[in-house]
A and B are shown apart, each in its own frame.
Chain A
Amino acid sequence: MTAPPVEQVDAVSGIEDPVVHVANLTLRFGGVTSLADVSLAVARGEILAVIGPNGAGKTSLFNCLTGVYVGEKGTISFLPRPGVSVPLAGRKPHRITQLGIARTFQNIRLFNALTAIENVKIGVESRQATGPIGAMLRLPRTRREERASDARAAELLEFVGLRAQANRLASALSYGEQRRLEIARALATQPALLLLDEPAAGTNPAEKVDLERLIRRINVEMGLSVLLIEHDMRLVMSVAARVAVLNFGRLIAAGAPAEVQRNPAVIEAYLGAADDEGGSGAAPG
């Protein structure tokens, strides 16, 4: 359970207008250190990829950002607009979503008994105000919001290419379609920052190409910042402006994709030193 002695770097320097800023974040589960002193910032409008071997702490980082876990040390600040900084530590997940951070899950978590469009509508409706009384009486505002929700959800399904599947059950969609539906649901909450947890896992090559295009469009057309966890290096290298590398909960490299690829610490983390058995002492990811 000894982490390889590597130098800790940070992925903050040079970022002038961050959308999220993580400073010295540490997360422990009992004796297992999942994140150790991680500092990282996502620039507004950039696509940052976080890579690393299994159990390096990538998903833990996401869970801290979205309020599922609370870090033991360190701060996380979210800046929905330039100059407005909101500390995230200790906030409930739904509050963080309402502030403007949306996520997808590594193991897809859709509402399986609902149709595709209902899944997306739930996201849209997180920004609406209809309460139980209005819903029971079908007040004019309720009806207006329902129409708005239908329209917006249809638009988003169109955007991710699932318009034709709108009335199919989420569980009846193919794996790649479910991944895209999850992205549509996340987009529906109107985030400023989108966290994608291994969106390409389990998809076929054709779907990967679609996904690559989709992530670019989210970034360019919708103007969202994207934080991406991904194992597929081709995808990472092609969409990410910057790459941060985690290993045993530490940030071991950060920078442009090509640079990171040549970094000896990264190569060692992936290929392993002679006496290291891969991720045997890994913390939960």
Chain B
Amino acid sequence: MSVYENPPADDGGPTGFSVRQVVGSLGESDWRRLGGCMFAALVFALMTGTSGNAQHLTAGVTGSLFKPRVVVFIVLGLALWALMTTWTRYRDDIRAGLEPFRKTKAEITGNQWVQLGVFAAVLLIAILVPPLLSVFWQQVLVSQIGIFVLLAIGLNVVVGFAGLLDLGYIAFYAIGAYTAAYWTGYPDSKPGHISPLPVHPPFHLNPFFVFPLAVVVCLIAGLLLGAPTLRLRGDYLAIVTLGFGEIVRIVINNSESVTNGPRGAFGIPHFSVNFGFLKYKWTLDLMPYWYLLLAMIVIVFILFRQLENSRVGRAWTAIREDEVAAAATGIPTLKYKLMAFAIGASTSGLAGVVFASQIGFVAPDNFVLINSLLVLVYVIFGGMGSLPGAVAGASFLIWLPNELRDYVAPQDRFIYFGALLVVMMIFRPQGVFPSRRRAREIGLAEAGAGGADAMGAPDGVMPR
């Protein structure tokens, strides 16, 4: 705000702009930044360049860096550097100039009606646009985006609201899917009665009626896993849940007589409703499934929104911030953590039922560890504790690799994914649409006041 009172006139004026002057005014940090930008440019050139092979081991490097194409990347790097340097120099001026807009922005985004309007607009797009898309994108929308948005919203309760790191989240999804596979079977083996699993349920259920059952089963599974483990904190809990996720997958994989083992369960029927006056059967057609998923997402979204702004949501925030103070304020911390765990688990179960019924086939391969991690990444990328963030994070990060399909070799696709996450965590750790509370916590943690999660042990308390 002070030294650079009138920079554009100084630099652009006829009197004093020269390369020598600019170079002379560069500080140490500017040079370091230049190095960083050049490095990033070369990495990016490598990423997008050719791959090596057995005959030409170094082709990946020479083909990427020792070709004229590298100049483009260096120029881009320089441009990025110039932009960053300008920004750090005039940051304060720009911020001061934008201050009135920033305030109005906060007012606008904080306005309830604006939020409602955005919600309605997004919903309208989600209703009207998908029928116009290609079958490929409809498939992505239903079997990936819809399902994973639901999973991300559920995990957001566990990780975002209650601050519990769960790396085995996909296990509940598996439990939901296999619950559907079991209950949609038939008690007998008459012709036309196909049971997806070798074991037969006492009676046959339409997949629709499996929903409440899957919710209950996952709730119980969540409580069973949570009760002994939620006394653990942070990293320990993460390891235990990771173990749980793997145990569930391996048990499913190995209990061949119950689950069909690695071959999986197949022939899970589609949803159908028959209330006399209202009859409808879901089929291989994708759009009805999309609308079913959309309805579920909207309902869960609204319910969790209410939850966030209630006694329960506040209690979770308190636990996340300071467990000792929360307990001293009369919050039963273990009970609330269990609650978050169970709610997250049952949401995951819902997603499992839809998945099983839509694809008609589930196998242990659908529930590998990377899927747990991906859901976690969606939540963090979107903004922990933020429901719009979970939706946006999952949608965008699933769209990206699918979009890249046309331009990038399959083995390279996740490099972009990884690079994006790295850049994101450095420059915007709070995520795309951070929740207000979470953003404040991260701000406070960076200023050295308290942790941003319930991961570390609270100070001043003896382990008991």
A-side residues, CB < 8 A to B, are: 29, 66, 68-70, 92-95, 97-98, 102-103, 105, 107, 109-114, 118, 121-123, 125-128, 130-132, 135-138, 142, 145-146, 149, 169, 171, 185-186, 188-189
Contact = CB atoms under 8 A, between A and B. Distances in A.
B405 interface: no
A94 B312 contact: no
A98 B315 CA distance: 15
A135 B331 contact: no
Given A112-B449, A113-B444, A98 B330 contact: yes
A171 B329 contact: no
Given A102-B329, A126-B329, 10 more contacts: A112-B441, A113-B437, A122-B331, A130-B311, A135-B312, A137-B303, A142-B311, A145-B311, A169-B440, A189-B330
B307 A135 contact: yes
Interface residues of B, number: 37
B317 interface: yes
B306 A136 contact: yes
Interface stretch (B46-54, B91-99, B318-326): B318-326
Nearest to B325: A109
A199 to B, nearest CB: 15
Given A68-B461, A94-B332, A137-B303, A110 B325 contact: yes
Contacts of B321: 111-114
Contacts of A93: 324, 327-328
B262 interface: no
A275 B321 CA distance: 45
B329 A97 contact: yes
Nearest to B342: A132
Contacts of B330: 94, 97-98, 123, 126-127, 189
Contact of A112 (B312, B331, B450): B450
A195 B326 CA distance: 16
A109 B462 contact: no
Which 6 pairs of residues, A with B, have the shortest CB-CB distance?
Answer: A126-B330, A135-B310, A97-B330, A113-B440, A109-B325, A93-B327
Interface string B412-443: 00000000000000000000000001101100
A68 B314 contact: no
Contacts of B332: 92, 94-95
B461 A132 contact: no
B158 to A, nearest CB: 13
Interface of B: 303-304, 306-307, 310-315, 317-318, 321-322, 324-333, 339, 343, 437-438, 440-441, 444, 449-450, 460-462, 464
Contacts of A107: 460
Nearest to A128: B311
Contact of B311 (A66, A105, A135): A135
Nearest to B157: A132
Contact of B331 (A29, A66, A126): A126
B454 to A, nearest CB: 12
A97 B440 CA distance: 28
Given A135-B311, A146-B311, A111 B322 contact: yes
B312 A113 contact: no
Contacts of A92: 327, 332
B315 A125 contact: yes
A125 B306 contact: no
A103 B325 CA distance: 9
A47 to B, nearest CB: 20
Contacts of B449: 112, 171
Contact of B333 (A94, A122, A169): A94
B313 A135 contact: yes
7 contacts: A29-B462, A93-B328, A97-B330, A113-B440, A122-B326, A130-B312, A136-B303
Nearest to A171: B444
Given A93-B328, A105-B325, A114 B314 contact: yes
A92 B460 CA distance: 16
B312 A109 contact: no
Contacts of B326: 111, 122
A235 to B, nearest CB: 23
Given A111-B325, A132-B312, A122 B318 contact: yes
A132 B329 contact: no
A244 to B, nearest CB: 22
A146 B310 contact: yes
A125 to B, nearest CB: 4
Given A70-B464, A113-B437, A132 B318 contact: no
B227 to A, nearest CB: 15
B455 to A, nearest CB: 15
| Residue among A68, A95, A107 having the largest count of chain B Cβ atoms under 10 Å | A68
A130 B310 contact: yes
Nearest to A185: B329
Contact of B314 (A122, A142, A186): A122
A149 B322 CA distance: 21
A229 B121 CA distance: 57
Contacts of A130: 310-312
Nearest to A190: B330
Nearest to B310: A135
A136 B328 CA distance: 26
Given A103-B328, A111-B322, A142 B310 contact: yes
A120 B236 CA distance: 32
B329 A123 contact: yes
| Residue among B313, B331, B449 having the largest count of chain A Cβ atoms under 10 Å | B331
| Residue among B306, B311, B339 having the largest count of chain A Cβ atoms under 10 Å | B311
Nearest to B461: A68
Contact of A114 (B312, B317, B327, B343): B317
Contacts of B310: 130, 135-136, 142, 146
B270 to A, nearest CB: 29
Nearest to B321: A111
Nearest to B304: A136
